[in-house]
Amino acid sequence: MSSEPAPVAEATPPEQSLEPPVKAASSGEAPEHRALVLTGFGGYEKVKVQTRRSGSPGPGELSVRVRACGLNFADVMMRQGLYDRLPSLPFCPGMECAGTVCTVGEEVRDRQVGDKVMILARTGLWQEVVNVPAVHTFLMPEGMSFEEAAALPVNYITAYMILFDFGNLRPNQSVLIHMAAGGVGTAAIQLCKTVENVTIFGTASASKHDSLKESGVAHPIDYRTMDYVEEVRKISPKGVDIVMDPLGGSDTSKAFHLLKPMGKVITYGVANLITGQKKNLMTMAKTWWNQFSINAIQLLHHNKAVCGYDLGNMDEEYELITGVVLKLINLYNEGKIKPKIDSVWSFDQVSLN
């Protein structure tokens, strides 16, 4: 896992051919391409490069030659077996990627060969060629690189919907962003900056504070050496308007109590489950034991909202998600958001075969 935002894997060298990378195929057989495959739950060694055949796209589908894939925190959780609704092993992970359309299936009217697209799916995108429903693809804007496009969907859709759909972020409000230097955190900071006079508190390791300040975080907090609740209260005794909670466990309760009246905590992850390369049963038990719960009457008395967000459970909500992506593309074109790429790795470097 990277300590910086949005690492991406490069599926194929950046030449411009629209043909999928092929290994000689016998007649009638689909050509082979490479895929990163999760062969078991556990550490990095469980991810292997293997070859696959994808065949022709079905009705409503596109075949896309993938040029870059995004790596998300959720992929790390998946590798450890800490994610729900996973396909049976072995399977190809990968929730986002970008590439060029090489074949258009029947019934697809709004995509053509050569279109550059970014793709969002629950799994299966860490491959050189993918067949995906056209409704899971979004046209890339002019000037966007494949690496940027592979780092945009998960991070920016998540941050946008949390801040604006659930959070209803408005001018002069304050937001606490945890994991502020990560992919979603970086997206959230850029999106907060599109609203006038928003005060951003961000937790991250100290080495990232200068970069966070440059990005617009007024109050970076080193949660590893400080009590972030105390630090926020020193600056803003009444608390904040919105807490983005990707941590879970006892941090959701802290988030709730840090809210001003009419404040909102949006919980969208359980990063506290991760303490190393492999799943840790003690950590899991502690995190679930400390899980926040509240009943409707208590909520009513507090004048606060608790929301839950999971992009992975919106795979059927094409129109909703497409609407968000169009807004994000407008913001990209206006120069207001831009994915930050930490590093680019080839498939061979990712796998320890």
Residue ranges in contact with ligand NAP by CB under 6 A:
1, 3, 5, 72-74, 154-155, 158, 179, 181-185, 204-205, 208, 246, 268-269, 271-272, 274, 309-312
Q: Which is nearer to ligand NAP, 128 or 309 (CB)?
A: 309
Q: In angstroms, what is the minimal distance from the CB of 90 to ligand NAP?
A: 22
- Picking from 217, 314, 310, the residue whose alpha carbon sits closest to that of residue 267 is 310
Q: In angstroms, what is the minimal distance from the CB of 268 to ligand NAP?
A: 4
- Picking from 156, 79, 90, the residue whose alpha carbon sits closest to that of residue 120 is 156
Q: In angstroms, what is the minimal distance from the CB of 155 to ligand NAP?
A: 6
Q: Which is nearer to ligand NAP, 83 or 260 (CB)?
A: 83
Q: Which is nearer to ligand NAP, 169 or 184 (CB)?
A: 184
Q: Which is nearer to ligand NAP, 181 or 217 (CB)?
A: 181
In one-letter notation, the amino acid at residue 180 is A
Q: In angstroms, what is the minimal distance from the CB of 180 to ligand NAP?
A: 7
229 contacts 258 by C-beta, under 8 angstroms: yes
The first and second tokens of residue 144, run together, are 């966007």
Q: Which is nearer to ligand NAP, 186 or 199 (CB)?
A: 186
Instruction: Name the maximum alpha-carbon separation found in the chain.
Output: 72
Q: In angstroms, what is the minimal distance from the CB of 224 to ligand NAP?
A: 7
Q: Which is nearer to ligand NAP, 115 or 251 (CB)?
A: 251
Q: Which is nearer to ligand NAP, 11 or 271 (CB)?
A: 271
Q: In angstroms, what is the minimal distance from the CB of 30 to ligand NAP?
A: 32
Q: In angstroms, what is the minimal distance from the CB of 107 to ligand NAP?
A: 29
Q: Which is nearer to ligand NAP, 47 or 271 (CB)?
A: 271
Q: Which is nearer to ligand NAP, 184 or 232 (CB)?
A: 184
SS3 string of the chain? Answer: CCCCCCCEEECCCCCCCCCCCCCCCCCCCCCEEEEEEECCCCCHHHEEEEEEECCCCCCCEEEEEEEEEECCHHHHHHHCCCCCCCCCCCECCCCEEEEEEEEECCCCCCCCCCCEEEEECCCCCCECEEEEEHHHEEECCCCCCHHHHHHCHHHHHHHHHHHHHHCCCCCCCEEEECCCCCHHHHHHHHHHCCCCCCEEEEECCHHHHHHHHHHCCCEEECCCCCCHHHHHHHHCCCCEEEEEECCCCHHHHHHHHCEEEEEEEEECCCHHHCCCCCCCHHHHHHHHHCCCCCCHHHHHHHCCEEEECCHHHCCCCHHHHHHHHHHHHHHHHCCCCCCCCCCEEEHHHHCCC
Q: Which is nearer to ligand NAP, 261 or 308 (CB)?
A: 308
Q: In angstroms, what is the minimal distance from the CB of 71 to ligand NAP?
A: 8
Q: In angstroms, what is the minimal distance from the CB of 204 to ligand NAP?
A: 4
CA distances from 265 to 39, 174, 277, 304 (A): 36, 12, 29, 8
286 contacts 275 by C-beta, under 8 angstroms: no
Q: In angstroms, what is the minimal distance from the CB of 226 to ligand NAP?
A: 12
